[in-house]
């Protein structure tokens, strides 16, 4: 793959955009900066957009009379309805969108690990954790889209998954007004990517593109997109990636020297041991596919699911995502 669409990404405004955090800060994120040349950002700040100023007293999520509420402890202001109304209006008015990159642990934007306090008392203890009010609405309304927070993207496995899903869904969105022939070609180009993520959904998507009931294209595309999002819901298991890599390796192994075969298998072992990201053995194998003009492999998105400039090996050190 040599060209990529520009995904549309909803980004929390405090991430590299404006100093709109409750304390007037801006959050620095290398991932957000690196991604910016390749996507189009839409940058809401839910807290500012419901009328809270900058700086402002922080808000928190807490249980009150059996209902989870969003309130401002310093003032006692309940902003639950305002935030819910904003989320409904904003998300309903969104046009085409491929993903969301939101502020981690924010009571408004967080997608997980947001603290839910036992009650509204100032010294209340944390009872449990979950998504923020805006982030939760995103997850509910857009279950098939790529959704992450900037904190989790420090892990290279999670980052690779997010980028893969983001650009794959953007390519699929671009087929909305295309034809069955184009959708069949898309399915063929994603054969090994889908094999790595879910053989079950690979077969399901194949049946959809076969279209035995001769459904209208718009209906087929909508069903395909929904199932594609489900297929890419979780990162591919590293064992599945290794299986696909070895499967592809079989196409060119006889043409390699013993040293080249050993080098590839060593990079695969390094990936297995979590010492390098998937992009490393992928790059080695892709180089050989280019050398031997193996077009069948080169057309596969598995080898380059997102722009090469985004393939970095920096990591938080927290290990492989399960």
pLDDT per residue as tens digits for the range 30-41: 999 999 999 999
pLDDT at 1: 46
175-204 pLDDT per residue, tens: 999 999 999 999 999 999 999 999 999 999
Give φ, ψ of 197 to 5 degrees.
-80, -45
Mean pLDDT over each residue of the chain, to the nearest integer: 94
**For the chain, what's the residue count?**
322
Interacting residues of 216 by C-beta distance below 8 A, sequence separation 6+ = none
Residue 277's pLDDT band (cuts 50, 70, 90): confident
| Cα four-point dihedral sign 245, 307, 319, 264 | positive
Peptide linkage before 142 cis (omega within 30 of 0)? no
Interacting residues of 35 by C-beta distance below 8 A, sequence separation 6+ = 9, 101, 163, 310
Q: Which of 232, 212, 238, 90 is nearest to 172 (CA)?
A: 232
Question: What mean pLDDT is predicted for residues 108-127?
Answer: 90
Report the share of the chain in percent with pLDDT over 90.
Answer: 88
């Amino acid at each position: 793959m040599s060209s990529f669409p520009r995904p549309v990404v909803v980004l929390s405004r405090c991430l590299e955009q404006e100093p709109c955090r409750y304390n007037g800060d801006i959050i620095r994120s290398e991932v957000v900066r690196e991604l910016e040349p390749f996507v189009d950002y839409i940058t809401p700040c839910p807290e500012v957009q419901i009328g809270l100023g900058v700086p402002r007293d922080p808000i928190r999520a807490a249980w009150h009379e059996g209902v989870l509420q969003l309130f401002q402890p310093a003032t006692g202001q309940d902003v639950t309805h305002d935030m819910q109304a904003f989320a409904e209006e904003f998300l309903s008015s969104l046009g085409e969108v491929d993903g969301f990159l939101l502020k981690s642990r924010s009571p408004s934007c967080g997608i997980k690990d947001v603290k839910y306090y036992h009650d509204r008392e100032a010294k209340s203890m944390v009872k449990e954790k979950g998504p923020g009010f805006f982030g939760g609405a995103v997850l509910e309304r857009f279950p098939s889209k790529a959704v992450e927070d900037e904190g989790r993207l420090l892990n290279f496995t999670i980052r690779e998954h997010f980028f893969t899903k983001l650009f794959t869904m953007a390519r699929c969105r671009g087929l909305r007004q295309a034809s069955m022939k184009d959708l069949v070609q898309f399915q063929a180009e994603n054969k090994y990517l889908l094999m790595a993520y879910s053989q079950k959904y690979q077969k399901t998507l194949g049946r959809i593109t076969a279209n035995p009931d001769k459904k209208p294209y718009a209906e087929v595309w909508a069903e395909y997109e929904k199932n594609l999002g489900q297929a890419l819901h979780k990162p591919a298991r590293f064992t599945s990636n290794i299986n696909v890599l070895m499967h592809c390796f079989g196409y060119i192994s006889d043409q390699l020297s013993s040293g080249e075969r050993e080098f590839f298998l060593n990079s695969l072992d390094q990936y297995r041991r979590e010492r390098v990201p998937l992009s490393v053995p992928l790059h080695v194998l892709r180089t050989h596919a280019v050398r031997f003009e193996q077009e069948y492999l080169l057309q596969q998105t598995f080898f380059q699911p997102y722009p090469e400039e985004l393939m970095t090996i920096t990591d938080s050190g927290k290990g492989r995502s399960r």
